[in-house]
Amino acid sequence: MGILLPIVLLLVGLFLLYAVIEAAVKNGINKSVVGELFDKKNGFKEDKESFLDRDLDNDK
């Protein structure tokens, strides 16, 4: 039990670090000038719906 808790905490910490870095890199690339030029050049536009698109307060 003494060695199991630090290993579990290490794995949870590494997973959280991975999630934060992945989100930062993905958003950084998509919002950069190079990322926007790449999207325009290749015609790539990711249309993912989120729960905010179906929100009842959405006036669109």
pLDDT digits (tens, 9 = 90+) for 11-49: 999 999 999 998 888 888 778 888 788 878 887 766 666
Do residues 58 and 52 lie in contact, with contact meaning Cβ atoms separated by under 8 Å? yes
- Secondary structure of the chain as H, E, C letters: CCCHHHHHHHHHHHHHHHHHHHHHHHHHHHHCHHHHHHHHHHCCCCCCCCCCCCCCCCCC
Task: Confirm whether pTM is higher than 0.85.
Answer: no
Residue-wise pLDDT for 15-24, tens only, equals 999 999 988 8
- Structural domain boundaries of the chain? 8-42
